[in-house]
Amino acid sequence: MTTDQNRFESDPEQLIERPPLPEGWTVGTPDPADRFDVARLTHLLRAHERRGRGWAASGVDDVLVEVSERGLRTRENLVVRDPEGEIQAWGSVHDRSLGRMLFVHIVQRELPDPVADACSDVLLEWAEGQARAVGAARGLETQQIDTGAFEGDERQARWLSDGGFERVRRWWQMSRPVAPEEGDLVPDPEHWEDGGVVFRLVRRTGAGMPDEDDLREVHEVLEGAFVDHFNSSEETFEEFLHRLREDPGHRWDHWWLAELVDGEVAQPVGALVGTESESTSGPDGSYVSYLGVLEAARGRGVAKGLLRTIIADAARRGRNRVGLEVDADSPTGAAGLYTSMDWKTKYVTESWHRDVPVA
């Protein structure tokens, strides 16, 4: 896939013939150049987060990932407007990887139930049509829609269940405090060695950009580490790089490799991709977006070493926390490692899936 290839249907009317909405309500697409549209989508997203887990963390940059020109290379959006033109519901689909389409489903929290239900029906019908479009473009017989909900959000769970989705997984969203003295947890977060394993940042070229060979090593390690994990799907190097660079917290100096060096040639066996978590009140944090270790190297302290590295890096940057997500049903025992290193669950999210026949 090239990163400028959008496989979705851009015209909502091709997927929704007669929206079941009150008189005067309309469907369309948001305008990323309209600051009022962007502000409204940000408001809807933050209200959704506050109701689901008690606080909001997303901002304008997170919305622009979905609706900006760059984001639209692999995404499509739908909004539902009331008679005054105010956006009251928002759907976004993301061609995430082969056979996997992510779906954002947000409806304004204060709408009367019949109107909110109608908005949800529109978003679900549109997402089903987009799943057929992207699945057909990829030559698939079945396309998965992957969406989520906060645990305990009964309204969202009802809509998804009625829409043919199945709750398939729970995820612990964990956080660990970071103390200033933990900057000495490892000798140097940029490069250190322990027990025949080197932990280092991806190399940089003379122009300051990351070394492509190192980036490919990170991708290959993560693909290999997650091949048997829940809902793993093949993702090309170009897809992987494009998607991670979209993250508002993306920083090249948050990508680490772990290599076995007790043989003749250094062998990449682990990788950690981190991001910066900006805060509107207080210090920023770091986040573990990906942590993977090849099966042949497990038991060598690779995962723990990478985690110690990002903790030390966060402390040296003056940050006060490191967050991550872990599969509540992970067969690898990862949750045990995290809890042993003082991570605690802050809230729980759920994955909901639906398989849509493409033909």
Which pLDDT tens digit goes with each residue over 125-145?
A: 999 999 999 999 999 999 999
- 35-53 vs 60-67: helix crossing angle, rounded to 10: 110
Looking at the predicted structure, is the pLDDT value of residue 1 above 60? no
Q: State how far the Cα of 224 lies from the Cα of 102, in Å rounded to an integer.
A: 22
Give DSSP secondary structure letters for 256-295: EEEEE-SSSS-EEEEEEEEEEE--SSS--EEEEEEEEE-G
Q: Is 12-171's fold the same as 179-319's?
A: yes
CB-based contact 349:170 (threshold 8 Å): yes
Looking at the predicted structure, is the pLDDT value of residue 2 above 60? no
Interval 175-190: pLDDT, tens? 999 999 999 999 999 9
Domain 179-319 class, CATH top level? alpha beta
> Between the CA atoms of 157, 158, 162 and 163, what dihedral angle is there, to the nearest 10 degrees?
-40
294-318 mean pLDDT:
95
Interval 23-63: pLDDT, tens? 999 999 999 999 999 999 999 999 999 999 999 999 999 99
Looking at the predicted structure, is the pLDDT value of residue 6 above 60? yes
Q: State how far the Cα of 134 lies from the Cα of 5, in Å rounded to an integer.
A: 11
pTM over 0.95: no
Structure tokens at 177: 């405090």
Count of residues for the chain?
359
pLDDT band at 329 (very low <50, low <70, confident <90, very high): confident
Looking at the predicted structure, is the pLDDT value of residue 285 above 70? yes
Lowest mean pLDDT among 94-98, 252-256, 305-309: 94-98
The label of the residue with tokens 């990323």 reads 32
Domain chopping of the chain, boundaries: 12-171, 179-319
Q: State how far the Cα of 20 lies from the Cα of 121, in Å rounded to an integer.
A: 8
* Predicted pLDDT of residue 21: 95
* Predicted pLDDT of residue 230: 66
Using DSSP bridges, classify how beta strands 285-293 and 321-327 pair: parallel, antiparallel or unpaired.
parallel
- Cα–Cα nearest to 12, from 109, 126, 153: 126
* Predicted pLDDT of residue 231: 65
pLDDT band at 114 (very low <50, low <70, confident <90, very high): very high
* Average of per-residue pLDDT values in the chain: 93
Arch. (CATH architecture) of 12-171 = 3-Layer(aba) Sandwich (3.40)
313-341 mean pLDDT:
91
* Predicted pLDDT of residue 69: 86
Q: State how far the Cα of 300 lies from the Cα of 340, in Å rounded to an integer.
A: 17
* Predicted pLDDT of residue 335: 87
* Predicted pLDDT of residue 20: 87
